[in-house]
Amino acid sequence: MKSKILIALVLLLVIIQFFTIDKTNPPAQVDKDFITISNPPAELASMIKNSCYDCHSNQTKYPWYSNVAPVSWLLKNHIDDGRKHLNFSTWSEYDLKKKDRKLDECVEMIQSGDMPMKPYVFYALRSHFK
């Protein structure tokens, strides 16, 4: 009985690999981007790009595990949700009040430890030191 369950689980894991996520990034226009518009110091720009842009811009670089379901589905959901809440690639489309609110929210999320998400930090650090 246990071997049948194990075979069914392995088969299910193989089958779900055929349900891939769409990794197409929406077009990113440099003139609308946060870093282009705000022109932060290079060190800060690099930190924002490395820590935030994969989920909060149209310049996502998908990691290797984005090819493995069901992890890929969760990752895609996080990216879609991140872009919905804050998209640095469309920064110029926010009015001044919204920009201020988004920056305040960024500070709050970072100070509270909610951002960047823990699994992402682990992967980013691991990739950085390779």
Question: What is the pLDDT, as a whole number, of residue 124?
Answer: 60
DSSP category for residue 117: -
HSE-up of 64 (CA within 13 Å, CB side)? 4
Q: Could you tell me how many residues make up the chain?
A: 130
Q: How many helices (H) and strands (E) does the chain have?
A: 6, 0
pTM of the model: 0.85
Q: Which amino acid is at 95?
A: D
Which stretch of 8-22, 89-103, 112-126 has the lowest confidence by average pLDDT?
112-126
C-alpha angle 88-52-126 in degrees, rounded to nearest 5 = 155
Domain that holds residue 113: 2-128
Q: Which of 54, 58, 47, 59 is nearest to 119 (CA)?
A: 54
